[in-house]
Protein backbone atom coordinates (compact mmCIF):
# COMPACT_ATOMS: atom_id res chain seq x y z
CA UNK A 1 0.00 0.00 0.00
CA UNK A 2 2.70 2.48 1.00
CA UNK A 3 4.62 3.88 -1.98
CA UNK A 4 7.09 6.22 -0.35
CA UNK A 5 7.47 7.97 2.98
CA UNK A 6 4.54 10.26 3.65
CA UNK A 7 2.36 8.91 0.85
CA UNK A 8 -0.50 6.45 0.92
CA UNK A 9 -2.34 4.93 -2.02
CA UNK A 10 -6.05 5.61 -2.49
CA UNK A 11 -8.54 2.90 -3.47
CA UNK A 12 -8.75 4.48 -6.94
CA UNK A 13 -5.01 4.13 -7.38
CA UNK A 14 -4.15 7.79 -6.71
CA UNK A 15 -1.70 8.81 -4.02
CA UNK A 16 -2.21 11.27 -1.21
CA UNK A 17 -0.21 12.46 1.74
CA UNK A 18 -0.49 10.64 5.03
CA UNK A 19 -1.94 12.68 7.86
CA UNK A 20 0.88 14.21 9.89
CA UNK A 21 0.07 13.62 13.56
CA UNK A 22 1.33 15.31 16.70
CA UNK A 23 0.81 13.79 20.15
CA UNK A 24 0.79 15.85 23.33
CA UNK A 25 1.41 14.04 26.64
CA UNK A 26 3.67 11.02 26.30
CA UNK A 27 2.61 8.93 29.30
CA UNK A 28 1.24 5.43 28.88
CA UNK A 29 -1.81 6.59 26.91
CA UNK A 30 0.06 8.98 24.61
CA UNK A 31 2.33 6.09 23.73
CA UNK A 32 -0.75 3.93 23.03
CA UNK A 33 -1.98 6.56 20.58
CA UNK A 34 1.44 6.75 18.96
CA UNK A 35 1.63 2.98 18.42
CA UNK A 36 -1.81 3.01 16.81
CA UNK A 37 -0.97 5.90 14.46
CA UNK A 38 2.27 4.10 13.51
CA UNK A 39 0.24 1.02 12.53
CA UNK A 40 -2.42 2.84 10.52
CA UNK A 41 -1.71 3.27 6.80
CA UNK A 42 -3.11 6.81 6.68
CA UNK A 43 -1.03 8.42 9.42
CA UNK A 44 2.53 9.16 10.44
CA UNK A 45 3.64 10.49 13.82
CA UNK A 46 5.76 13.55 13.11
CA UNK A 47 5.74 15.31 16.50
CA UNK A 48 5.58 14.27 20.14
CA UNK A 49 5.37 16.70 23.00
CA UNK A 50 5.75 16.45 26.77
CA UNK A 51 6.73 18.95 29.43
CA UNK A 52 8.89 16.15 30.86
CA UNK A 53 11.91 16.29 28.57
CA UNK A 54 12.90 12.62 28.95
CA UNK A 55 9.41 11.47 27.95
CA UNK A 56 9.39 13.64 24.84
CA UNK A 57 12.92 12.58 23.87
CA UNK A 58 12.22 8.88 24.43
CA UNK A 59 9.03 9.01 22.36
CA UNK A 60 10.74 11.01 19.61
CA UNK A 61 13.35 8.29 19.30
CA UNK A 62 10.78 5.48 19.46
CA UNK A 63 8.50 6.87 16.74
CA UNK A 64 10.98 8.68 14.52
CA UNK A 65 9.27 11.99 15.32
CA UNK A 66 10.51 15.41 16.37
CA UNK A 67 10.31 15.98 20.14
CA UNK A 68 8.98 19.17 21.74
CA UNK A 69 8.64 20.29 25.35
CA UNK A 70 5.58 22.50 25.00
CA UNK A 71 2.71 23.00 22.57
CA UNK A 72 3.83 26.60 21.93
CA UNK A 73 7.29 25.35 20.96
CA UNK A 74 5.75 22.73 18.68
CA UNK A 75 3.42 25.20 16.97
CA UNK A 76 6.12 27.87 16.78
CA UNK A 77 8.57 25.50 15.09
CA UNK A 78 6.56 25.65 11.88
CA UNK A 79 6.27 21.84 11.68
CA UNK A 80 3.32 20.91 9.46
CA UNK A 81 0.62 19.05 11.39
CA UNK A 82 -2.76 17.78 10.19
CA UNK A 83 -4.16 16.67 13.58
CA UNK A 84 -3.13 16.02 17.19
CA UNK A 85 -3.94 13.68 20.04
CA UNK A 86 -4.21 15.27 23.48
CA UNK A 87 -3.06 12.72 26.06
CA UNK A 88 -2.30 14.84 29.10
CA UNK A 89 -3.91 13.95 32.46
CA UNK A 90 -3.86 16.17 35.57
CA UNK A 91 -6.46 16.65 38.30
CA UNK A 92 -9.09 13.91 38.08
CA UNK A 93 -7.22 12.74 34.96
CA UNK A 94 -8.57 15.69 32.99
CA UNK A 95 -7.26 18.90 34.55
CA UNK A 96 -4.33 19.35 32.15
CA UNK A 97 -6.22 19.00 28.87
CA UNK A 98 -7.66 22.51 28.68
CA UNK A 99 -4.72 24.82 28.00
CA UNK A 100 -2.83 22.80 25.37
CA UNK A 101 -6.12 21.81 23.68
CA UNK A 102 -7.12 25.47 23.40
CA UNK A 103 -3.71 26.25 21.87
CA UNK A 104 -4.10 23.52 19.26
CA UNK A 105 -7.70 24.42 18.42
CA UNK A 106 -6.75 28.10 18.21
CA UNK A 107 -4.11 27.08 15.66
CA UNK A 108 -6.89 25.41 13.64
CA UNK A 109 -5.78 21.83 14.30
CA UNK A 110 -8.24 18.94 14.75
CA UNK A 111 -7.82 17.38 18.21
CA UNK A 112 -8.60 13.92 19.51
CA UNK A 113 -8.67 14.41 23.28
CA UNK A 114 -8.48 11.87 26.03
CA UNK A 115 -11.32 11.50 28.49
CA UNK A 116 -12.57 13.16 30.58
CA UNK A 117 -12.86 16.04 28.11
CA UNK A 118 -12.20 18.08 31.26
CA UNK A 119 -12.95 17.63 34.94
CA UNK A 120 -14.43 21.15 34.82
CA UNK A 121 -17.55 21.59 32.71
CA UNK A 122 -16.91 25.31 32.07
CA UNK A 123 -13.59 24.49 30.48
CA UNK A 124 -15.13 21.70 28.41
CA UNK A 125 -17.69 24.22 27.13
CA UNK A 126 -14.89 26.61 26.11
CA UNK A 127 -13.06 23.90 24.19
CA UNK A 128 -16.20 22.73 22.40
CA UNK A 129 -17.12 26.34 21.56
CA UNK A 130 -13.66 27.15 20.24
CA UNK A 131 -13.65 24.04 18.01
CA UNK A 132 -17.03 25.14 16.63
CA UNK A 133 -15.86 28.71 16.10
CA UNK A 134 -12.77 27.50 14.28
CA UNK A 135 -14.70 24.87 12.31
CA UNK A 136 -12.28 22.10 13.29
CA UNK A 137 -12.97 18.50 14.27
CA UNK A 138 -12.80 17.79 17.98
CA UNK A 139 -13.23 14.19 19.10
CA UNK A 140 -12.76 12.43 22.41
CA UNK A 141 -11.37 8.97 22.95
CA UNK A 142 -14.63 7.46 24.24
CA UNK A 143 -13.31 4.14 23.05
CA UNK A 144 -15.68 1.76 24.87
CA UNK A 145 -18.38 2.18 22.24
CA UNK A 146 -15.98 1.53 19.35
CA UNK A 147 -16.28 -2.24 19.42
CA UNK A 148 -17.80 -4.48 16.74
CA UNK A 149 -20.14 -5.86 19.45
CA UNK A 150 -21.48 -2.38 20.26
CA UNK A 151 -21.82 -1.55 16.57
CA UNK A 152 -23.83 -4.75 15.99
CA UNK A 153 -26.03 -4.09 19.02
CA UNK A 154 -26.60 -0.54 17.78
CA UNK A 155 -27.73 -1.95 14.41
CA UNK A 156 -30.25 -4.14 16.28
CA UNK A 157 -31.56 -1.07 18.11
CA UNK A 158 -31.77 0.99 14.91
CA UNK A 159 -33.46 -1.76 12.88
CA UNK A 160 -36.07 -2.25 15.62
CA UNK A 161 -34.96 -5.73 16.67
CA UNK A 162 -35.41 -4.82 20.34
CA UNK A 163 -38.72 -3.08 19.66
CA UNK A 164 -39.32 -0.01 21.77
CA UNK A 165 -36.43 0.42 24.22
CA UNK A 166 -37.47 0.28 27.87
CA UNK A 167 -34.41 0.04 30.11
CA UNK A 168 -30.62 0.12 30.23
CA UNK A 169 -28.42 -1.21 33.01
CA UNK A 170 -24.76 -0.37 32.66
CA UNK A 171 -21.99 -1.51 34.93
CA UNK A 172 -18.38 -0.41 34.74
CA UNK A 173 -15.86 -1.11 37.44
CA UNK A 174 -12.12 -1.38 37.84
CA UNK A 175 -9.66 -1.47 40.66
CA UNK A 176 -8.24 2.03 41.16
CA UNK A 177 -6.83 2.62 44.60
CA UNK A 178 -5.71 6.20 43.86
CA UNK A 179 -7.07 8.60 46.50
CA UNK A 180 -7.70 11.77 44.58
CA UNK A 181 -10.60 14.23 44.80
CA UNK A 182 -13.94 13.01 46.24
CA UNK A 183 -15.37 12.89 42.67
CA UNK A 184 -12.40 11.27 40.95
CA UNK A 185 -14.21 7.99 40.32
CA UNK A 186 -17.25 9.65 38.74
CA UNK A 187 -15.37 12.22 36.68
CA UNK A 188 -12.50 10.05 35.46
CA UNK A 189 -14.16 6.67 34.78
CA UNK A 190 -17.77 7.35 33.93
CA UNK A 191 -17.38 9.50 30.84
CA UNK A 192 -17.00 6.04 29.28
CA UNK A 193 -20.03 4.30 30.76
CA UNK A 194 -22.33 7.29 30.27
CA UNK A 195 -21.16 7.63 26.69
CA UNK A 196 -22.09 3.99 26.04
CA UNK A 197 -25.50 4.62 27.65
CA UNK A 198 -26.03 7.74 25.52
CA UNK A 199 -24.91 5.83 22.40
CA UNK A 200 -27.79 3.41 22.80
CA UNK A 201 -30.43 5.53 24.54
CA UNK A 202 -29.81 9.19 23.65
CA UNK A 203 -29.72 12.24 25.88
CA UNK A 204 -30.26 12.00 29.63
CA UNK A 205 -33.04 14.07 31.16
CA UNK A 206 -32.89 13.42 34.93
CA UNK A 207 -30.41 11.91 37.35
CA UNK A 208 -30.51 10.60 40.92
CA UNK A 209 -27.32 9.32 42.52
CA UNK A 210 -26.24 7.45 45.65
CA UNK A 211 -22.54 7.11 46.39
CA UNK A 212 -20.53 5.25 48.98
CA UNK A 213 -16.91 5.01 50.10
CA UNK A 214 -15.24 1.62 49.83
CA UNK A 215 -13.46 0.08 52.81
CA UNK A 216 -10.63 2.34 53.90
CA UNK A 217 -11.33 4.93 51.22
CA UNK A 218 -11.73 8.69 51.40
CA UNK A 219 -13.25 9.15 47.95
CA UNK A 220 -16.73 8.20 46.71
CA UNK A 221 -15.53 5.02 45.08
CA UNK A 222 -18.91 3.32 44.53
CA UNK A 223 -21.89 4.73 42.67
CA UNK A 224 -25.45 3.88 41.79
CA UNK A 225 -26.92 6.42 39.40
CA UNK A 226 -30.53 6.27 38.24
CA UNK A 227 -31.30 7.98 34.95
CA UNK A 228 -34.29 8.90 32.88
CA UNK A 229 -33.60 9.59 29.22
CA UNK A 230 -35.33 12.22 27.07
CA UNK A 231 -37.20 9.51 25.18
CA UNK A 232 -38.59 7.91 28.34
CA UNK A 233 -36.06 5.05 28.65
CA UNK A 234 -35.06 4.47 32.28
CA UNK A 235 -31.66 3.21 33.35
CA UNK A 236 -29.09 2.64 35.99
CA UNK A 237 -25.33 2.94 36.20
CA UNK A 238 -23.36 0.84 38.65
CA UNK A 239 -19.80 2.07 39.00
CA UNK A 240 -16.87 1.29 41.22
CA UNK A 241 -13.15 1.80 41.77
CA UNK A 242 -13.26 -1.05 44.30
CA UNK A 243 -13.48 -3.88 41.78
CA UNK A 244 -10.90 -5.88 39.83
CA UNK A 245 -10.05 -9.53 40.30
CA UNK A 246 -12.61 -11.66 38.51
CA UNK A 247 -15.31 -8.95 38.45
CA UNK A 248 -14.76 -8.16 34.77
CA UNK A 249 -14.71 -4.65 33.27
CA UNK A 250 -18.23 -3.81 32.19
CA UNK A 251 -21.65 -5.03 31.21
CA UNK A 252 -24.32 -3.24 29.19
CA UNK A 253 -27.84 -4.69 29.31
CA UNK A 254 -30.54 -3.06 27.16
CA UNK A 255 -34.12 -4.35 27.01
CA UNK A 256 -37.10 -3.45 24.89
CA UNK A 257 -40.57 -4.59 23.93
CA UNK A 258 -39.26 -7.37 21.62
CA UNK A 259 -35.87 -8.34 22.98
CA UNK A 260 -32.78 -7.61 24.94
CA UNK A 261 -29.04 -7.51 24.33
CA UNK A 262 -26.19 -7.85 26.76
CA UNK A 263 -22.61 -6.87 25.96
CA UNK A 264 -20.04 -8.26 28.37
CA UNK A 265 -16.64 -6.66 28.72
CA UNK A 266 -17.00 -4.18 25.85
CA UNK A 267 -16.21 -6.61 23.05
CA UNK A 268 -15.92 -10.11 24.47
CA UNK A 269 -19.48 -11.47 24.46
CA UNK A 270 -22.73 -10.28 22.93
CA UNK A 271 -26.08 -11.96 23.64
CA UNK A 272 -29.46 -11.47 22.04
CA UNK A 273 -32.50 -12.67 24.01
CA UNK A 274 -35.82 -12.67 22.18
CA UNK A 275 -38.89 -11.89 24.24
CA UNK A 276 -40.83 -14.49 22.24
CA UNK A 277 -38.39 -17.41 22.30
CA UNK A 278 -36.15 -19.22 24.75
CA UNK A 279 -33.34 -19.44 22.20
CA UNK A 280 -30.39 -17.23 23.01
CA UNK A 281 -27.93 -15.94 20.40
CA UNK A 282 -24.38 -15.68 21.64
CA UNK A 283 -21.47 -14.09 19.80
CA UNK A 284 -17.95 -14.25 21.16
CA UNK A 285 -15.32 -11.71 20.11
CA UNK A 286 -17.43 -10.11 17.37
CA UNK A 287 -15.24 -8.94 14.49
CA UNK A 288 -12.26 -10.73 16.03
CA UNK A 289 -11.85 -8.16 18.80
CA UNK A 290 -10.49 -9.99 21.82
CA UNK A 291 -9.98 -7.39 24.51
CA UNK A 292 -10.66 -3.84 25.58
CA UNK A 293 -7.10 -2.78 24.78
CA UNK A 294 -7.92 -3.10 21.07
CA UNK A 295 -10.49 -0.31 21.34
CA UNK A 296 -7.75 2.32 21.09
CA UNK A 297 -7.08 1.19 17.54
CA UNK A 298 -10.74 0.91 16.59
CA UNK A 299 -11.57 4.37 17.97
CA UNK A 300 -8.52 6.11 16.49
CA UNK A 301 -9.18 4.39 13.12
CA UNK A 302 -12.64 5.96 12.99
CA UNK A 303 -11.19 9.38 13.89
CA UNK A 304 -8.58 9.08 11.13
CA UNK A 305 -11.10 7.84 8.56
CA UNK A 306 -13.39 10.75 9.36
CA UNK A 307 -10.51 13.21 8.95
CA UNK A 308 -9.45 11.64 5.65
CA UNK A 309 -13.06 11.73 4.41
CA UNK A 310 -13.37 15.34 5.60
CA UNK A 311 -16.45 14.55 7.66
CA UNK A 312 -17.91 17.88 8.88
CA UNK A 313 -16.89 18.67 12.48
CA UNK A 314 -20.48 18.38 13.73
CA UNK A 315 -20.68 14.80 12.38
CA UNK A 316 -17.54 13.51 14.14
CA UNK A 317 -18.28 10.37 16.19
CA UNK A 318 -17.83 10.68 19.96
CA UNK A 319 -17.26 14.41 19.56
CA UNK A 320 -16.26 16.94 22.17
CA UNK A 321 -19.90 17.99 22.26
CA UNK A 322 -20.97 14.42 23.13
CA UNK A 323 -18.26 14.14 25.78
CA UNK A 324 -19.47 17.42 27.26
CA UNK A 325 -22.99 16.02 27.48
CA UNK A 326 -21.69 12.96 29.33
CA UNK A 327 -19.74 15.22 31.68
CA UNK A 328 -22.91 17.20 32.43
CA UNK A 329 -24.59 13.95 33.49
CA UNK A 330 -21.70 13.33 35.90
CA UNK A 331 -22.04 16.81 37.39
CA UNK A 332 -25.79 16.27 37.73
CA UNK A 333 -25.09 13.02 39.61
CA UNK A 334 -22.75 14.85 41.98
CA UNK A 335 -25.36 17.56 42.56
CA UNK A 336 -28.05 14.94 43.09
CA UNK A 337 -25.95 13.21 45.72
CA UNK A 338 -25.06 16.47 47.46
CA UNK A 339 -28.65 17.68 47.59
CA UNK A 340 -30.40 14.30 47.97
CA UNK A 341 -32.66 15.18 45.04
CA UNK A 342 -33.44 14.30 41.45
CA UNK A 343 -31.56 16.69 39.16
CA UNK A 344 -32.86 17.66 35.70
CA UNK A 345 -30.31 18.44 33.03
N1 LIG B 1 -9.55 6.08 26.86
C2 LIG B 1 -9.10 5.22 27.76
O3 LIG B 1 -9.46 4.05 27.76
C4 LIG B 1 -8.13 5.70 28.79
C5 LIG B 1 -7.53 4.79 29.67
C6 LIG B 1 -6.64 5.30 30.64
C7 LIG B 1 -6.38 6.65 30.71
N8 LIG B 1 -7.01 7.50 29.82
C9 LIG B 1 -6.77 8.96 29.86
O10 LIG B 1 -5.54 9.23 29.18
C11 LIG B 1 -4.98 10.44 29.70
C12 LIG B 1 -3.48 10.22 29.95
O13 LIG B 1 -3.30 9.22 30.89
P14 LIG B 1 -1.82 8.72 31.29
O15 LIG B 1 -2.01 7.59 32.22
O16 LIG B 1 -1.00 8.49 30.06
O17 LIG B 1 -1.27 10.02 32.08
P18 LIG B 1 0.23 10.39 32.49
O19 LIG B 1 0.12 11.33 33.63
O20 LIG B 1 1.07 9.17 32.62
O21 LIG B 1 0.78 11.18 31.19
C22 LIG B 1 0.39 12.49 30.90
C23 LIG B 1 1.59 13.22 30.33
O24 LIG B 1 1.17 14.52 29.90
C25 LIG B 1 2.26 15.40 30.14
N26 LIG B 1 1.76 16.79 30.13
C27 LIG B 1 0.99 17.42 31.06
N28 LIG B 1 0.71 18.68 30.65
C29 LIG B 1 1.33 18.84 29.46
C30 LIG B 1 1.41 19.92 28.54
N31 LIG B 1 0.81 21.09 28.78
N32 LIG B 1 2.12 19.75 27.40
C33 LIG B 1 2.72 18.57 27.15
N34 LIG B 1 2.69 17.50 27.98
C35 LIG B 1 2.00 17.64 29.11
C36 LIG B 1 2.81 14.96 31.48
O37 LIG B 1 4.11 15.40 31.69
C38 LIG B 1 2.72 13.43 31.33
O39 LIG B 1 3.90 12.87 30.82
C40 LIG B 1 -5.82 10.80 30.93
O41 LIG B 1 -6.71 11.85 30.59
C42 LIG B 1 -6.61 9.55 31.24
O43 LIG B 1 -7.89 9.82 31.78
C44 LIG B 1 -7.86 7.04 28.87
Q: Tell me what pLDDT residue 16 has.
A: 74
Residue 22 CB less than 6 A away from ligand 1: no
Q: Tell me what pLDDT residue 181 has.
A: 94
Q: Tell me what pLDDT residue 13 has.
A: 62
| Ligand 1 pocket mutation, candidates 49, 74, 88, criterion most atoms within 8 A of CB | 88
Q: Tell me what pLDDT residue 15 has.
A: 72
pTM here is 0.95
Stretches where the chain sits below pLDDT 70 are 1-5, 7-14
Closest alpha carbon to 50 in 81, 21, 22, 78: 22
Q: Tell me what pLDDT residue 102 has.
A: 98
| Ligand 1 pocket mutation, candidates 23, 52, 58, 89, criterion most atoms within 8 A of CB | 89
Q: Which atom of ligand 1 is nearest to the CA of 28?
A: 16
Q: How far apart are CA 87 and CA 34, in angstroms?
A: 10
Residue 140 CB less than 6 A away from ligand 1: no
Q: Which atom of ligand 1 is nearest to the CA of 141?
A: 1
Q: Tell me what pLDDT residue 180 has.
A: 87
Residue 143 CB less than 6 A away from ligand 1: yes
Amino acid sequence: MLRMAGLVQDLDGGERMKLRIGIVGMGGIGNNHARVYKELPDTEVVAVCDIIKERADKAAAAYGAKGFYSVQEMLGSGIRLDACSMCTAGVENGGDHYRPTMELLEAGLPVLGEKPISNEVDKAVEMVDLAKKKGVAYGINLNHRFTPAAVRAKEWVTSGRLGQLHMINMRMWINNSKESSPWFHLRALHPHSIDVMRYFCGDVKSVCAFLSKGKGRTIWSNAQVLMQFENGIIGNLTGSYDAGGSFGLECCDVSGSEGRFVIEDACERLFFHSRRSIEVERYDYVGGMRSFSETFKSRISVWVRQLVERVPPDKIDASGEEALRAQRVIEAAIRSFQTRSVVDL
